[in-house]
Chains A and B, each alone.
Chain A
Amino acid sequence: MADKQQPDGIVLTEAQKKSRRQRSIAIALALGVLVVLFFAVTMVKGPAVLVRPM
């Protein structure tokens, strides 16, 4: 009962875990910037944000 089970499947190395964490943070930041950008432009344009000039 006390024996620890070996994890199934792929076990990530420390380097792989670190780089994956870095990439995840970068993606989160990029998405955050996109959200802030859309919010800021909506505030700037006001109702005109719905106007789509060609």
Chain B
Amino acid sequence: MSVVENNAIELSPRISEADVADYIALLKPRVMSLVIFTALVGLAIAPGHLHPVLAFTSILCIAVGAGASGALNMALEGDIDALMSRTANRPIPRGRVTRPEALAFGMTLAFFAVMTLGILVNWIAGALLAFTIFFYVVIYTMALKRWTAQNIVIGGAAGALPPVVAWAAATGSLAVEPLLLFLIIFFWTPPHFWALALFRSDDYARAGVPMLPVVAGPDATRLQILLYTVVLVAVAAAPWPLGYFDAVYGVTSLILGAGMLALAVNVYRRRERSEALRASRGLFAFSIFYLFALFATLLIEVVARAIAPSIW
């Protein structure tokens, strides 16, 4: 009799108590904000005029697509999120949202984001957004993340695509400029994430995620951070001599790059526990400011040119 009662309890459907805030958390709002900003820059530097309603639609679809990727990523990584202190408070490890609910939420948002962008703006942008979501969810989350220490290097392509999608939304085509923005974010990703992984390596080791500090050790990671930062500074400055972006951008990128390089050298040199921790935290924090400031420079130039074309 008691067995029957127990079965009855187990078979009773689970009633969700998840509120809107839990579903917003699934979208990874902080990642979304960076995606929105980089996409906005891609849209702003694109030639020609895009009607504000279409521009808003494009940014909204890219943002929702990024949110969908975040929700699908959390649905697929619920097991490892529960093991890491940084992610243990996410809605799935906390039991607020189940994996099937997060999957359904992510798939629905991805479908609507891609279809809306394709129908209302253009299908090149829609297809690129679909590819971005596919790359982040299938290539990065399902294939690379638990398999190779190069996970965030290759997976970084997904995070670098939003300005390209935005450019395609504005022009219906691709060009060198958005690919330069892509390369900047692509080479920014390894120093940014490996700086985080250096001070969260215990977390990643516990979860069995083969991040570079876990697999190759902190010293090898420090060297890789330095090398990628050198490439990043060069790639970020290159559009100036190549004639794609002007001197204001070029000088800003060199100043910001000097800061990034100094902090990367600091990470490379400081290997004592507390100093090393402080150095990697410093680089991680500055890397966010670096990308924001670099892209903000492009945005400010576009706005300034629109307001006072004679000066610029």
Contact = CB atoms under 8 A, between A and B. Distances in A.
Interface of A: 10, 12-13, 15-16, 18-20, 22-23, 26, 34, 37-38, 40-41, 44, 52-54
Given A16-B16, A41-B57, A26 B23 contact: yes
Top 7 nearest A-B pairs (CB, nearest first) are: A19-B19, A41-B120, A44-B53, A26-B20, A16-B15, A19-B17, A40-B53
Contact of A22 (B20, B54, B57): B20
B53 A41 contact: yes
Given A37-B116, A54-B122, A19 B18 contact: yes
A22 B120 contact: no
A24 B213 CA distance: 44
A18 to B, nearest CB: 8
B48 interface: no
Interface of B: 12-13, 15-20, 23, 51, 53-54, 57, 60, 112, 116, 119-120, 122-124, 172
A53 B127 CA distance: 12
Nearest to B64: A30
B19 A23 contact: yes
A42 to B, nearest CB: 9
Contact of A12 (B15, B20, B53): B15
A29 B13 CA distance: 27
Given A10-B13, A41-B53, A44-B54, A52 B20 contact: no
A23 B20 contact: yes
B116 A34 contact: yes
Given A10-B13, A22-B19, A23-B20, A34 B112 contact: yes
A27 to B, nearest CB: 10
B148 to A, nearest CB: 35
Given A23-B20, A52-B123, A41 B54 contact: yes
20 contacts: A10-B13, A10-B15, A12-B15, A18-B19, A19-B17, A22-B20, A23-B16, A23-B23, A34-B112, A37-B57, A37-B60, A41-B53, A41-B54, A41-B57, A44-B53, A44-B54, A52-B119, A53-B122, A53-B123, A54-B124
Contacts of B15: 10, 12-13, 16
Contact of B17 (A15, A34, A54): A15
Contacts of A16: 15-17
Contacts of B112: 34
B172 A53 contact: yes
A5 B57 CA distance: 51
Most buried by A among B16, B19, B124: B19
B51 to A, nearest CB: 5
Most buried by A among B12, B15, B23, B122: B15
B266 to A, nearest CB: 45
Contacts of A10: 12-13, 15
Nearest to B127: A54
